[in-house]
Structure 1
Amino acid sequence: MELNEYLYFLRRAFDGMISALEELGDELANTAPPPAGANSPFAVAYHCTGVADYWIGHIIAGRSVDRDRASEFTAVGTVTDLKSTVDPLFDRLRDDLREVDAQAAPRNVPPASFEGPDRPLSCAGVQLHVLEELAQHHGQVQITRDVLLNGNVR
């Protein structure tokens, strides 16, 4: 897997989420749509920073990552906050992946309590899992944006 091409697709997902948050503005970006228990678009996008940092930084590269997955879903902030998180994240991801052998086993195994593939993965498999997560959450943020902009809020 070519590094720059892979990071391009991750960045497209983040840029799409950020664009949707910009359309919403900070207040709506932090509003959860119906039904009860749904997450705000900001929280979903913020969760994606945790996904990428943890799965690539910790699982693949072995870097220490202090992650509180549950709190990602209740995170609040501004689009500016998210942008200031994403840019340095990409610097770390590039460093984490620079020398990775795609077919090698990752340095760490995720805890069973984290949702993810139910089988051992190569580094390439972990990268695909991150892309899968970001792509699906990008779509979720876009749909949530549409719901919120059409006045379908609690």
Structure 2
Amino acid sequence: MVTTGGGTPDDDVLVSVILEKFDELVALVASCDDATANAVPAAGRPEAMNSPIQLLVHTCGMMRRWSCSVNRGLPVPRDRDAEFTARMPAAEALALASRTRADFRDDVASTDPDAAPAAVPAGREHLWTGSCRGVLLHVFEEICQHLGHAEITRDMLDRPGR
């Protein structure tokens, strides 16, 4: 179980579930060879599709943006557009994911879930930005969305004729 910085047992459960879903995304990429991990399905509009690597890289950027830049007020450099064009060996993406997971855990341990986020981006004031806990709920929402997207992508890549 992950311990939050002064949070409740429910906060610890939230962080554990966030990391569980993140680990599922990491395992999905780990199960792919480099070509599959960087491929996009040919169906529909391939230019609008994302590879498993792109989804993992984007998820890493998203997690640190919200856990560190927003909740803690410590800017983490990020090129969101580049996340969606990323191509790299799966091992490189998995190393990024490992660093992101460790940094996310450190961010959470250094954050009071009841406190207001330190740096909510302009135009991103939502019900969930009222507390660091709410921001973590948003991280959970985003990871679930991207995990589902990656699962559908992998299933499409696994079928004959891609």
Change (3 A) 1:71 1:122: same
Change (3 A) 1:21 1:87: closer
Aligned 1:22-37 pairs, distance under 5 A: 22-33=30-41, 34-36=43-45, 37=48
Shift of 1:111: 4.1
One-letter code aligned to 2:23: D
Percent identity reads 31
Shift of 1:117: 6.7
1:45 aligns with 2:65: no
Structure 2: where are the runs of 5+ without partners?
1-7
Q: Using the alignment, how far apart are the partners of 2:105 and 2:144 within structure 1? A: 19
Shift of 1:25: 1.2
| Number of aligned residues | 150
Shift of 1:79: 2.0
Q: Which residue of 2 aligns with 1:135?
A: 144
Q: Which residue of 1 aligns with 2:72?
A: 61
Q: Using the alignment, how far apart are the partners of 2:130 and 2:78 within structure 1? A: 21
Change (3 A) 1:21 1:99: closer
One-letter code aligned to 1:40: S
Contact 1:30 1:40 in 2 (8 A): yes
1:107 counterpart SS class: coil
Structure 1: where are the runs of 5+ without partners?
none
Please give the TM-score of this superposition, normalised by the length of structure 1: 0.86
1:31 counterpart SS class: coil
